[in-house]
Structure formats: structure tokens, C-alpha cells
Amino acid sequence: MNHFEYRDGRLHVEDVPLADIAAEVGTPAYVYSSATLRRHYKVFAASLASAMPGGRHTVCYSVKANSNQAVIGVLAAMGSGADVVSGGELKRALKAGIPAEKIVFSGVGKTSAEMRQALEAGIKQFNVESEPELAVLSEVALGMGVRAPVAFRVNPDVDAETHAKISTGKAENKFGIPFDQARDIYRLAAALPSIDVIGVDVHIGSQLTRLAPFESAFARVAELTAQLRADGHRIRTLDLGGGLGIPYVRNAPWPQPDAYAGIIGRTVGHLGCELIFEPGRMITGNAGVLMSSVIYVKQGTNRRFVILDAAMNDLIRPAMYDAHHEILPETQPEDDDAWDRADLVGPVCESGDTFARDCEVPPLAAGDILCFETAGAYGAVMSSTYNTRPLVAEVLVDGDRFAIVRPREDVDSLIGRDRLPPWMQEDAAG
Ligand code: LLP
């Protein structure tokens, strides 16, 4: 459920007419709903609580999905922790008010500088993905005279049955430690004085629409945990990653948080560990839309093109993952409107700059506003300035209020980031 709905034929975000936002902020812009963010966080946390009454769990929102300070801030106020994958994300999470002791640090390529930054902050856990990474972390922690809390991310070789570019739990993926090497690396780590081995971590992919792959992966983690305990390790935390899919197609069935939590209860509930979760898309995906205006409607030889002011640089998902985002016109289509087929495209000079091909659209004319749904996760964070298109504005709605939470970038400051090398400056000076 989200809070984008029609009232008297006009699209509202919570209690704010979308047209008011467009008039003040312009298009394109991302628009997020605080109530939806809160609702998704609550639904997720409540499912876990009811599947494992009395069990300890920490929800560490995966900041990569949407790292706007205001968005993280809404979740921080709900008590969320954070999953970060860079020093930059760590800074963002801390700045938005997430306490260090609720932050886990994931990723295959942490640098020693990032490790130092995280140790100084006092984060909850490093999810270590290789032996060389362990060696560097051990050295950095030793140098600082501290102990690094470590879980190893294991690769269970399970097919997540999702898009190949976002599948991470197969043996051929770069992520995690191969299952058959796990016990050796735990033994190695336990002998290092600056490493505190505390847990096991797994994340098999993103946008999982079937729960069976989770079940296989978590069952393997449970087995490994028992083995590690028998080997003498005090495994206290299990980080089960993120990846729960959401409906991109309206009314499509999708895995329910309750069923997901049920699987967790069955597979790892008996181990008495603190459970950590890293949901990203599930929290922010349906809490945001990309608002855009029609620039032209153009009739081609055998198809019609609706040319929008938003483009692939603003929302890369259709071009990159063949992702589908439903459209939501600002004005509610009338029952007797004649819908037609068209391609929805942006102005960028690539044929891949297509949001949807040959899709049913209501009557649209230049100046009309429409939104792409489910753009709150992996939307703004993946945008670029390709074609010298400045980053778009981001807006947060809360009840009947809205505010710009990232102003539209201006072209001059974008160009102003370039520098001429000294020899070209001399040439220019004559
Ligand atoms: N934890 C780890 C270690 C991850 O790598 C990810 C996502 C998550 C948690 C959060 O996963 P989620 O709950 O959001 O599925 N740009 C792609 C998605 C990339 C996901 C990368 N890792 C997209 O737009 O579909």
C-alpha cells in the first residue's frame, strides 16, 4: 500500500495535490511519501516481531536504495539502523541520525581508510567478504588498538531467480566466501587478536519474487552456524541481508513480509541469534515516484512516441534491467477516454532511453504530467548527468506539507566542476 491516490480526479501524494508540487518545484522530480516509508518499515518490523516473539532483531535499512538525508531521517526516527557499503554511505547514515551501533558495513571492496572510519565511529558489524579483506581489517584494527566485530558473508550458491545483474548468491558471483571455505576462514579469524568473530551474513540478490531461494539460503546458514558453534565460535548475530521483492506491476502477486518472516522463524529461529535485516527496495520502492512532463507527442512511421522531460539519466532501471514502472497520470483518466499505444521515451540521444515500449496510455498532450511508480528505490541514487542534464529535485511529502529535500542541480554549477589544465588556460589568456 502507498499514499499516491486520486482525489476528485487529481493525483495526490498523501494530502498534497501533485500539481502543487509540480507548480512549485517543476519537473522532472522525485516525490516521496513519509507515510509510506513509515508504513513499510512498520509492516516489515511487525512481521518479524510476530514470527519470532521475544527474538532480537535489528532492521538495518540498506541506504543504497535511497540515501537522501530526509529519507534516512524518517527511518532513523522509526528506530532503523543502516546497511552501508562505502565511507560515503556511512557518513550519510550517521549524519541522518542513525546511531553507529546500528550500522553494518557490507561490500566486497572496503578500503583501509573506510575501515578506519567505521572503527572510529564504532559500528555494529563488518560483513567481511574475503581473506585479503580480513587481513587488512585485522591490521587496521590492531593499529588502532581496537577489536573489529566481524561476520563473514557466505555465498550459499543459491539461485535467487531474479535479474542476472542483481543476483549475488551464486558461486559465479563476486560476493561472499565460498561455503566450503567458510570454516577455514572462521578458524583463521578466531586466531587474530584484533578480530571479534560474532556472526554470519548472507545476501543472495535483490527483487526476489519467490521465497524458496531465501529458504534454501537461510537453511544453509543455519547448518553452517551449528557447525561453527561446534568448532568453538560464539556466533551471536545472523545478518540475513535484504532482497525482498516488491510489485512493479500493479496488482501482481508478490512475496508478503509475513511469509518471509515465517521462513526465517522456521529456518533460523531456533538458533537464538540476534537477527539483522538489510531491506532496501521493500522500504523505499513504492514510497516514491518520478514526476515528469510531456514535452511532445510525435507520430513515427508505425508508432507513437510520448517524449518526456525525464530520461534514462534520471531513472536508469528500464534501460539497465528492462524494468517496468507503471505510469500514473496526474489527471485521472476518464472512463470513456480512448487509450492508445505509445512508446514513452526521454530526450537522451540513445534508443535505450525508453521507459516503456508499446504500452497503453491515456490521451496525453504536451504539458501533461505523469509519474512513474515504484521509483523510490534505486531511482535518484542511480541518476547521472549524462547529456549535461542536471540532477533532478527530490521532494518529501508529510501529510499536507511538502519540502524540497534536494534542490534541482543547476547547469552552471555542473559545468563549473570542470577545470581547464594550466596549458589550456595559458592558451586562452593568449
Ligand atoms: N544488502 C546487500 C549486501 C545488498 O547488496 C543489497 C542490494 C541490499 C542489502 C538491499 O537489497 P534490496 O532489499 O533493496 O533488494 N540497482 C538494482 C538493485 C541493486 C541491489 C544491490 N544490492 C535495481 O535497481 O534493481
Q: Is 279 in the pocket of ligand 1 (CB under 6 A)?
A: yes
| Cis bond before residue 28 (omega within 30° of 0) | yes
| Active-site annotation holds for 349 | yes
pLDDT at 209 over 70: yes
Give, using CA atoms, the residue closest to atom 19 of ligand 1.
166
Ligand 1 centroid vs 23 CA: distance in angstroms?
33
Q: Is 317 in the pocket of ligand 1 (CB under 6 A)?
A: yes
Give, using CA atoms, the residue closest to atom 23 of ligand 1.
378
* Mean pLDDT confidence for 80-102: 98
- Report d(CA 237, CA 199) in Å as an integer: 4
Ligand 1 centroid vs 144 CA: distance in angstroms?
32
Cell of 244: 525482498
pLDDT at 2 over 90: no
User: Pick the catalytic residue: 273, 349, 359, 371?
Assistant: 349
Indicate the SS3 state at residue 196. Answer: strand
pLDDT at 18 over 90: yes
Ligand 1 centroid vs 374 CA: distance in angstroms?
15
Among the residues of 304-367, which ranges form H helices? Answer: 317-321
Q: Give me the residue label for grid cell 522531460.
A: 309
- Report d(CA 425, CA 352) in Å as an integer: 37
Q: What is the pLDDT of residue 157?
A: 87
Contact predicate 32/397, CB 8 Å: yes
Ligand 1 centroid vs 299 CA: distance in angstroms?
38
CA-CA-CA-CA dihedral for 74, 80, 81, 87, to nearest 10? -10
- Report d(CA 265, CA 62) in Å as an integer: 22
> pLDDT by residue (tens digit) across 340-356?
999 999 999 999 999 99
Of 289, 263, 285, 290, give the one whose Cα is nearest residue 275. 263
The number of the ligand 1 atom at minimal distance from the alpha carbon of 153 is 3
Q: Is 281 in the pocket of ligand 1 (CB under 6 A)?
A: yes
* Mean pLDDT confidence for 179-189: 96
Q: What is the pLDDT of residue 267?
A: 97
Q: Is 325 in the pocket of ligand 1 (CB under 6 A)?
A: no
What's the full length of the chain, in residues? 430
Residue to mutate, 64, 165, 283, ligand 1, most ligand atoms under 8 Å from C-beta = 64
Of 310, 382, 301, give the one whose Cα is nearest residue 345. 310
The number of the ligand 1 atom at minimal distance from the alpha carbon of 208 is 15
Ligand 1 centroid vs 242 CA: distance in angstroms?
7
- Report d(CA 280, CA 80) in Å as an integer: 12
pLDDT at 428 over 80: no
Contact predicate 208/255, CB 8 Å: yes
The number of the ligand 1 atom at minimal distance from the alpha carbon of 278 is 9
Share of the chain above pLDDT 90, in %: 90
User: H/E/C letters for each residue in 249-285?
Assistant: CCCCCCCCHHHHHHHHHHHHHHHCCEEEECCCHHHHH
* Mean pLDDT confidence for 381-407: 98
